[in-house]
Every structure is written in structure tokens, then in C-alpha cells.
Amino acid sequence: MKRSVSVIAILLLCCLVLTAFAACKQEEVDHLVIYNWADYIFDQDLEEFEAYYEQVTGRKIETTYVTFDTNETMLTRLTRGDTNVDVVCPSEYAIQKLIELDMLLPMHYFDDDNSNEGKQFTSDLSANVDKDLYQHNSGNVEQGILDKVNETFGSIQVLNEESADYGKTRRMTDYFVPYMYGTLGILYNKVEFAEMGIYDEEILNQANWGILFNDDGNGGTLSDKLTGKILMKDSIRDSYAATVFYLKESGKLDDLVSESGKPYSEMSAAELINAVDDGLLEKVKDALSAQKEQLFGYEVDFGKDDLLSDNAVVDLAWSGDAMYAVEESWDDSLNDGEGDYKLGYYVPHTYGNIWFDGWVVPVTRDITHTDAIKLFINYLNRPDVAARNVLEIGYSAAVNADSIKADDRAKAILAEGYSVYAPELWYVEDEDGNSIAQLVDDSGEPLAEEDYDYGSWDEFEMYFFQNGYEDEEGNVVSYDEISDSNWRYPFASAQQHSSDSRSLDSLGVMRDFGDKNHDVVTAWNYARSTGDTGSTLALLGWTALAVAVAVGAVALAIWLKRVFRHKVRLRDGTKD
């Protein structure tokens, strides 16, 4: 009996030791909590980052991916302390607000001490990180983004009175690392525009943002057939930007002077979209109210679908959504059977909005996750990772075009995604040893050259990075004669068109509206809820009628069923 007790005691002790050992092993796993927009990263990025992390540090890591739907939701949760995260990906104006609240840690990702080794960023990486396997990727980031951000935000003052740094100023580029960016523009149906007689460079470059208001730029109607076919973005900031651009270029601000004393007619794009004086807000409110008679409706996510299905002809769009819609709109029957894109994306030559999202680190991050935080942010600036994310998300990666074009793995990823015949890249393999760029059919047989969508990398590169193709005489021809530019890469695009008005100076970045946020929201709500709703009301009316009919049909079916059951019961001699 004593021996049995001893054996049991030994077994229990072994279990305790094994449990404690397992717990210790469990603690060996590192962690990283990522707070990002939904569907804003390639699905396998996190898995491949975990493999990369183990390779560089010798340690395993688990990543947790938490999402938000708006910058405002993210700001609320961070400021209230509802979310404990390590890295966040806000838009530029939200980063401004977080810096003002003193809620971010400086990273100094671009401070390289003239050695291009990111010493400020890597100085507190632990001894676990194999420095020979680490490559700092700050040089891959588009410099134009950093210049544009510094130009727009300058020195940001800490406004949190409880902060020890209250009143001090900071530079945004010390606190964030760019991830994605894009433009705001007009997605439109080129075929419908041609039938309306307005698919003309001179006509549309006269109308510019007036296209969204069915205004030809001279105070007249662009096309009667456009009424009820226009979509507006259900977004305060984007609609505000488009409206002030329209008011400026159409001369509706010529008689208005800002509170600073500067006439609106003399303002740049950046100055315009960051002006929120009462007089301008009134003009914006009136313009949006009047616009409603021209609208099909407001949208956030389904505008591209409405254009592809011909429900609408024009939409205020973000460049990523627009590029996706344009590529989905290829029609072999267009252009005399040569094929063409049914849709086009147009950033007016006068003014435009360019925006940026980037990674920041909250002061509330877990300090033991420092290696994971910095390795993750740097990992996303690899050209091959950027290429995957461009394919997945549709927006422009902050990694510059030249870095992507110089990296064979990045090129192979794009070649696979866009079906490019590029035998020179077939040697680039994935983790399983398969060629990335060489495509196969359903039976596993390699595709023939004629089955690829692009005959060569050079042909694809001209489309992807220049939005054009080479004609028989060797000239580069734009796929869209109206835009004559590729706003997938605005910085390269602006350089290509530096001789005309299509320069980066025509693109502005929006800051946070600060104390005027409430006034802007009030003006927006007024414009959305009052005035002549035109086709929007008609649409709502038909929708209500359809719902009423459906409800009536269901009610009738229930009533008939009850009558039938009542008759059956009478036949059976039962009571109802």
C-alpha cells in the first residue's frame, strides 16, 4: 500500500514538473497584437512574418490581428484604453490627433545617421535579433510621401495638458512609417460618356470636379442624361474635399475671403481642403444640398459594383477601389474588337486629395514586444511583401516603384497575379519550390505563351507603372486619354507630367479639422437630410415600395395558410 502511494506521489510529481515545463515552453512564444483595417493585408503575410521572425530571432511568435472600420472608432478605443495593441495603422489626420494627445512612441525609422542602417530604429532591438539577417528597409519607402507629410503637417504641437511634453512640437515622420496611400478621384463609365457626347478631353478637363455635380465648368449642365446617375461618397471628409475643389474651380469662391484674410481664389489644394471657415462651410452645405437632385445615391463600398452593372455612371472613388473596378471592366468587344476598359479613373488636373495610412506604436504597447513591433513594420517594406499587398488591397504601397521593379521576387509575384509571360522570372520559386511566375492550367500543365494576359514583363510594366501601352510606332499611349496618367503611382506620374498642371502641388493632404469638426459634421448632416433629394428620394421610394410589396406578399401567404388550416380543421371536426 505504501509502495502504491509512493508510486502515485511520484507520478503526480512528474505531472507537475511536466506541466511547469510546458508552461515555461509556452512563455517562450513571443506575441504581437496588430490593429488594422479589415482586409488591409495579404492573408499569408502574418504567417510568413512569423516564419521570418523565427528565422531572425530563433524564437516563435504568435500574431493577433484586430480590426477597426473607421479612424474615429480606432481613436475612441485607443483614447479610452479599450484596446491593448502594439502597432496601429491609422490615416494621416488620425496620426496627427494621436501625436497631439501624446499617445505615440517615436520610432525614428528614417534616422540613419548617414549610414542607411536605421540606427535610431534598431538601437533597442534585443540580442535575440541576428543583425546579419536583418536588413533595414527605410530606403525602399517613397521619399515623396515623407516630403508631402512634412510639408502638410510641419511641427505638431502636443495639446494634452496632462503630458510632460505639453506645448512641445513634434514631426510626424518621426512617429509613423508609411504603409499604403492613394488619391481621391472620379470613377466613370467611358462608354456611357461617349454616348452622351462628353467623353472628350477638353470637355471633361473643363468640368473637372463639376462632373460630380453635373456642371460643365461654365455653369451649364454637363449632360441631361447624367442626372440620377451620379454616386457620392458617404464620407464627410472625402465629399468635403471634392466639393471645395468644385467650388474653387467653378468660380463660386471668387467673392469669398477666408478669416485669415487670404482669398479662397488664391489658395492651393492643401489650403482649400483644410479651410473650415463659417463662410466656406455654408457654401459647401449649399452645394451638397443642390447636388442631391443629380444623385443616384450615396455609397461607401458598392459604388464600383453599381458602375460595373450600369446602375450609375459616375462615382466619387478612392484610387484602390477605382483601379480594381477599371481592371474588372475589360471588354473584348470594345475598341473595334481590340478590347478596352469600360471604366476609367480620373483625377482632375486642377486639384486633388492624396492620403496616407501608416504604422504607429501606442505608448501603451507591451514593451516586451519591441522586437516583434519593429521587425513587423520593417518587414512590410520589403519589395516582395509590398507587391503581395498591392495585389491584395488594390492601393499603392509606400514602397516605391523603382524598388519593386528592381526586385525579381516582387516582379514574379506581380507576374503571377496579372498573368504575365515572363520566362526570365520562372526561376523565382515559392517556399514549396514551385515557380511563382510560370502559370499552369487545371491539369497542372504549363500555360502556352498565348494564354497569358500580357506577352512580356515590359508590356505589363508599361501598363502597371505608366498606365499605357506601346503603339506600332513605339509611342507610349495612355489607356485613358482623359486622365493621361497613372495615379496608382502619383509621384512617378507627376514627374512624367511635370510640364502641365498635373504636379504634386495640385494634390493636398487633409489635416484633422480640430475644433471645427463639429461644425463640419453639422453641415454634412444638414446637406444629407434636407433639400431636393431628386433621384435619391425616388430610389428610396421605389425601395420602400418594394419592401411594402414583399411584406404584403408574406402577410398574404400567412393569411392564406391560416385560412387553409382553418378549413382543414373544420373538415376534421376540430375547433379553430
Contacts of 74 (CB under 8 A, 6+ apart): 35, 68, 88, 90, 94
> Rounded CA gap, 177 and 350, in Å?
29
CATH architecture of the domain with residue range 182-350+507-538 = 3-Layer(aba) Sandwich (3.40)
What's this model's pTM, rounded to 2 decimal places?
0.85
Q: Comparing C-alpha atoms, which of 195, 233, 194 is closest to residue 212? A: 233
Domains 31-175+357-380 and 182-350+507-538 share a fold: yes
For residue 567, the one-letter residue type is: K
Handedness of CA 487, 488, 491, 493 (dihedral sign): negative
With respect to CATH, is domain 31-175+357-380 assigned 3.40.190.10?
Answer: yes
> Rounded CA gap, 563 and 381, in Å?
68
Q: Could you tell me the residue ranges of all domains in the chain?
A: 31-175+357-380, 182-350+507-538, 546-576
Any alpha helices (H) in 28-124, and if so which ranges?
45-57, 71-80, 92-100, 119-122
> Rounded CA gap, 299 and 523, in Å?
18
Q: What are phi and psi of 5, to 5 degrees?
A: -60, -40
Element of type H or E holding 384: helix 383-393
CB 280 within 8 A of CB 253: yes
Element of type H or E holding 155: strand 155-157
Contacts of 533 (CB under 8 A, 6+ apart): 292, 293, 295, 540
Element of type H or E holding 273: helix 269-273
Q: Comparing C-alpha atoms, which of 47, 48, 24, 56 is closest to residue 371? A: 56
| DSSP secondary structure, 387-446, as one string | HHHHHHH-SEESB-HHHHHT-HHHHHHHHHHTTB--GGGTT-B-TTS-BSS--B-TTSPB
One digit per residue, pLDDT tens: the chain, 576 residues? 444 445 555 555 555 555 554 444 445 899 999 999 998 999 899 999 999 999 999 999 999 999 999 999 999 999 998 889 999 999 999 999 999 999 999 999 998 655 555 677 888 899 999 999 999 999 999 999 999 999 999 999 999 999 999 999 999 999 999 999 999 999 999 999 999 999 998 999 999 999 999 999 998 999 999 999 999 999 999 999 999 999 999 999 999 999 999 999 999 999 999 999 999 999 999 999 999 999 999 998 788 889 988 999 999 999 988 988 988 999 999 988 888 889 999 889 889 999 999 999 999 999 999 999 999 999 999 999 999 999 999 899 999 999 999 999 999 999 999 999 999 999 999 988 999 999 999 999 999 999 999 999 999 998 888 777 777 887 777 777 777 666 788 877 666 555 555 677 789 999 999 999 999 999 999 988 875 444 444 444 434 444 444 444 444 444 444 433 333 333 333 333
CB 401 within 8 A of CB 414: no
> Rounded CA gap, 286 and 448, in Å?
58
Pairing state of beta strands 396-397 and 177-189? antiparallel
Q: What are phi and psi of 158, to 5 degrees?
A: -75, 120
What long-range pairs does 123-128 form, CB within 8 A, spacing at least 24?
Answer: 124/370, 125/370, 125/371, 125/374, 125/375, 126/370, 126/371, 128/57, 128/58, 128/59, 128/371
For residue 6, the one-letter residue type is: S
